[in-house]
Amino acid sequence: MELDRLIQVMPEVVSCCPDACLVVGGTSPEEAHLRHLIETRTLDDYARLAGCIPPDCLAEAVVGYLQRTGRQALTTQILHRYVLHSHN
């Protein structure tokens, strides 16, 4: 998945759904670039790089985040379809 494209469309997503938030688990050689995109688009409240989350803790981490923030989840498959097919 092209995470930079997800971050680039977040302002549009947030304008339609102000409670939207992109949380990315894992690490990438592109992490500095992704953090720069988040900062330059002032998306600190809407996009977060969570770092490495062990697979056996992933479900608990997601549920805990959603409960703490009151937000809802949207799977990466839906986002992937939206970003790669709607903006080409």
Tokens matching residue 16: 């339609």
In the chain, the number of structural domains is 1
Determine the pLDDT at residue 53.
78
Span 6-17, pLDDT tens digits: 899 999 988 888
> Which residues form the domain of 23?
3-86
Q: 50 versus 86: which is more confidently predicted?
A: 50
DSSP code string of 38-79:
HHHTT-TTTEEEEE---GGGHHHHHHHHHHHHT-----HHHH
Determine the pLDDT at residue 76.
54
pLDDT exceeds 80 at position 86: no
Span 22-78, pLDDT tens digits: 888 888 888 999 999 999 999 988 888 888 878 788 778 777 777 777 776 655 544
